[in-house]
Amino acid sequence: MTLPLSQTAMKQTAMKRSSLRRARRALGAALLGIAALAGVVVGGASPAGASSCSGPIAGGEIRVVLVVDASDLGGGASATCLVVAAGTTGSQLLARRGSELGTGAPRYGSSGLLCAIDGRPASGCGDRSAGGFEYWAYFNGSSGSWVYGNFNPFTRRLSDGDIEGWRYVSGAGNGQDPPPRIGPARSLFPALAPSLPSLPDLSSLAPPSGAGDSPSSGARSAVVPSTSPSTGEARVDPSGDTSVDGVSSSTTVDDSVAVGAVALASSSTTHSTTGRWIGIAAVFVLIAVMAGGAWVQTRRSR
Amino acid sequence: MSAPRLLHPGAWWLWAVALSACALRTTNPVLLCLIIAVAGWVVVSRRADVPWSRSFASCLRLGMIVIIVRVVFQILFGVRVSGMTLFTIPEVTLPDWAAGVSLGGPVTLESLMAALYQGLRLAAVLACFGAATSLCSPYRMLRALPTVLYEAGVAVTIAFTFAPQAIVASRQVREARRLRGRSDRGVRAWTASALPVLEGALDRAVALAASMDSRGYGRRGSSSVAVRRRSIGLVLLGLVAIAVGSYGLLDPGAPALFRVPALALGAAALLGALIAGGRSTTRTRYRPDPWAAPEWIVSFAGVVAFGSFVSVSRMGDALNPSTNPLEVPAVPVLAVVGLLVAALPAWCAPRPPALVAPSTMAVAA
């Protein structure tokens, strides 16, 4: 019950932030171009990126790019730029991405192993396969190339300009497992983000049509948009329209849709948990009867 | 239902092993509590008045300690799982080469629940073991073992009698403390008596193995050295293969090669050892324990419970409730029904005979 509430709170802060950045809408188009350049666009689908980390950031905040590659699960690869509080951990970043894109929180196993991002895969967690294990491999791309991460996403604290990558792989579970198909290029960050080293010039960026050379090494990667309704902040208008009015109106619509969905989800969970609680109560009544009977028997035999 | 008699120990062990296999397949706290309750109910209904029948209570206490240790370790060293933070303990930043390990940090409700579920699972397995030890005489179990295992006579004797002997020894150590006017409760009494209890139990088990050896248990008769070596090698191979196979069977994540093929290899090796070594020896049993209808019912009850768990795990995730995000565990009806079937021995097994004194029991066995 607490989870949907906190998600709503996150959405509200996201709304505030997005209103601050409405004027910088043009950057959305720039990012659209970058996202399109990051790979081949599948089936004419428009790429999704994030515009949330363009422009100056407040003190105590950092910009991080999160690449999630679910190509092996039919989900495509995407890069999302997020502004988060300094000291955010890798797992918090994943959760934040899920709430910004509206794809839900990642699923973890009881041991803390990451099982699913965006609900993919629907079931199973690090299961064995013919090629070893099928799992979400963690990579760090801050150095300019993907480094297989032996860090714990729950304790790894991010710093400004970090590039984080997750790819669903089938492999031995070591550094030989393949990295995400979107390369960890600086160009994944929105062009105007200041004070980051070696940022590309805005004029060198291709228009949103996607023509031009790929700045990233992963030329085979597929960029697909997030499927569920997202907040206006994390979404780029598919038409490439950069009008400020259009964006602001779509933001409000999207937000109301997202909040409505959260409210619906919470009410449906309450309904199903009541049945579960009744089942648990029935079993514990049974256990109490057994324990009472055992106690009586022990007393009698003495 | 039938005249009071002791059930075949193999039936109780089969039942208990099936029940603990159920426990190993699930982290659902509701089902684990039910497993412990079922085991306890059957023990209370059908245990004989012998020293080792108290081992169930000791195993429950040990289970509580296991749960506490698991939760404390989770708080101190556990993987930092995201979620609802309950409190934060000081965090130690470790160097890069130890990046996978965490020491301190925020403690979340989700991580505590996961630790609790896992501790409860181990406690349930311990309860099943305690049920088997309290329900059947270790001496009768030794007698009922297949001839192949006689090769590993001493090891098998110690393995089966250590836990019951520890119960007897702990009782004696506590009595001795009381006679000396010291308290037999509290942490200090525990730590002071732990070593004598373990030492005494091992001494008793070794003494028993020695006396059995001197009476011919595990002897191969007049077989030649070559035959004996061959059969010992086959027994070793078979035991290792069966250990690997049963581990594979209990762990759903193990590769398929470690399951049925390993068990089949082990069984074949043991059979080979039986044929290789057993041809020359003839063995008779004095008053063998019968395997009649109650034995079939008891072992079948355990197998039914295990089957219900396997089919529930095929249908969905109800056996392993998610702790991140935390959810209310579902109660699969089929598994509950299976566990209730496993409680049937409380009525179907014959009552143990009322004994005059525990010592006659040991002599009779």
CA distance B277 to chain A (A): 41
Of A89, A110, A150, the CB nearest to B114: A110
Domain-wise residue ranges, chain A: 2-261
Averaged pLDDT for residues B3-8: 84
Tell whether the model's pLDDT for residue A211 goes beyond 50. no
**Phi, psi at residue B287, to the nearest 5°?**
45, 70
A21 touches chain B (CB under 8 A): no
Rounded to an integer, what distance in angstroms lies between the CA atom of residue B8 and that of residue B292?
9
Question: A2-261, what's its fold?
Answer: Ferric Hydroxamate Uptake Protein; Chain A, domain 1 (2.170.130)
| β-bridge mates for residue A77, sequence order | A69, A223
Place of tokens 């505590």: B112
* Closest by CA position to A34, among listed A231, A301, A222, A216: A216
Predicted local confidence at residue A252, as pLDDT: 27
CB contact under 8 A, A152 and B80: yes
Please tell me the predicted confidence (pLDDT) of residue B222: 64
Amino acid at A65: V
Asked if pLDDT for residue B362 goes beyond 80, the answer is: no
- Asked if residue A242 has pLDDT above 50, the reply is no
Could you tell me what percent of chain A has a pLDDT over 90? 5
Rounded Cα distance, A49 and B365, in Å: 77
Q: Would you state the pLDDT for residue B137?
A: 83
In angstroms, the separation between the Cα of residue A73 and the nearest Cα of chain B is: 20
Give mean pLDDT, residues A182-195: 69
Chain B nearest-CA residue for A107? B324
Q: Is A35 at the interface with chain B, CB within 8 A?
A: no
Give yes or no for residue A235 having a pLDDT over 70.
Answer: no
Asked casually if ipTM beats, i.e. exceeds, 0.85, the reply is no
- B44 with A108: Cβ contact below 8 A: no
Q: Which of B41, B79, B322 sits opposite A111 (nearest CB)?
A: B79
Q: What is the nearest CA distance from B153 to chain A, expressed in angstroms? A: 36
Work out the angle between the directed axes of helices B109-135 and B55-77 (0-180°, nearest 10): 160
Q: What is the pLDDT of residue A267?
A: 37
Min Cα distance A84 → chain B (Å) is 16
Antiparallel, parallel or unpaired: β A128-129 and A132-140: antiparallel
Kindly tell me the number of DSSP H helices and DSSP E strands found in chain A.
4, 10
Q: In this complex, is the C-beta atom of A133 within 8 Å of any C-beta atom belonging to chain B? A: no
* 3-state SS, residue A137: strand
The more confidently predicted of residues A154 and B8 is B8
Which residues in chain B are closer than 8 Å to A273, comparing Cβ atoms? 328
Largest CA distance in chain A: 91
CA distance B100 to A272: 37
Chain A environment of B91 (Cβ under 8 Å) = 155
Domains of chain B, by residue range, sit at: 9-138+291-364, 221-279
Instruction: Please give the Cα distance from B269 to B271 (Å, whole number).
Output: 5
Q: CA of B252, closest CA in chain A: separation in Å?
A: 10
pLDDT at B16 over 90: yes
**Two tokens at B21?**
């296999």
- Chain B residues with CB within 8 Å of chain A CB: 27, 30-31, 33-34, 37-38, 40-41, 44-45, 49, 78-82, 84, 91, 99-102, 105, 110-111, 114, 117-118, 253, 255, 317, 320, 322-325, 328-331, 333, 336, 343
Partner B contacted by A157 (CB < 8 A):
no
Return the pLDDT at B253: 67
Q: Answer whether B118 sits within 8 Å of A110, measured CB to CB.
A: yes
Q: Does A117 touch chain B (CB under 8 A)?
A: no
Chain B residues near residue A156 by CB distance under 8 angstroms? 99
